[in-house]
Structure 1
Amino acid sequence: MSERLQPGDVAPAFTLPDADGNEVSLAGHKGRKVIVYFYPAALTPGCTKQACDFTDNLDLLAGAGYDVIGISPDTPEKLAKFREKESLKVTLVADPDKKVAESYAAYGEKKNYGKTYMGIIRSTFVVDEDGKISHAFYNVRATGHVAKIIKDLGI
């Protein structure tokens, strides 16, 4: 398990397939600010709420110079279904072996209803134009999280 990332850390590089099977890499966004968020599973209530919130605020975020990439352990096929069903506009990428989630410390021990298990820790990272972490949010709530990021970033 990786140590939690802090502002100033270099964001771990990644190249993952999107919902259409095209490769998306963090390096491809160099020179732009990127919001990278990890969520447990497509087509679940909390993750749908969060993805819809990002989609609803995408124009605002893009206008302020931010790209948004959502990462989950789902397959590209499931991500495509999620995107179509919810009319999502954010870039969704698949991390089925959870290696990228691990590199961001967004995969680890979770507790739910008294049970402990390994899973995706809902987390969001803001990466600056130079590929460094400017904000790291762990264990975020799906509801209200996007509004909080917008406020924290002063958009």
Structure 2
Amino acid sequence: MSEWKRYLQTAFARPTETDRTRLEVLAGARLPDRYWQVVCEHQGQVLDTDGLVLPDEGEINFGVLLLALAPKSLSKSDASYTVEDCYRSMEDRYPAGLFPFADDTGGNYWAFDFRADPANPAVVFVDHEESGADGVTLAADSFAAFMALAGQPQDE
């Protein structure tokens, strides 16, 4: 079983429903409830797990769970780990409808893919060495399935 560990050294405030609303407006869709539970407890942490194995990509680290807090409420260095900052850095290079939630610490992202089903987004890996659809690989059909791949049971 995988375990959450501190990555960023700051003690962050717990995200609020205002934070969730702000992110959902940016995403253009409702974020999965399971994701919101996880980010409220573990934002800024890494999941200590064996890498997730994806076809054609190999083993990939989970990385850092991005911060759900508003960038303006954080230091400049911590703000670079916010969902908004990462979203802005990828929005012009990849298809619309992708929304990052974790950084693999190598410049790549794990993201929700709202394109096919905004009510139940898949999870994709976004490779920074590619652009457009070529940089997007399906990882799991849902956030719950993705977390199960990462060694986190449903009730965790």
**Pairwise same-fold verdict (TM > 0.5):** no
Pick 1 or 2: higher relative contact order, CA cutoff 8 A, min separation 6.
Answer: 1
Compute the TM-score of the two structures, normalised by the length of structure 2.
0.34
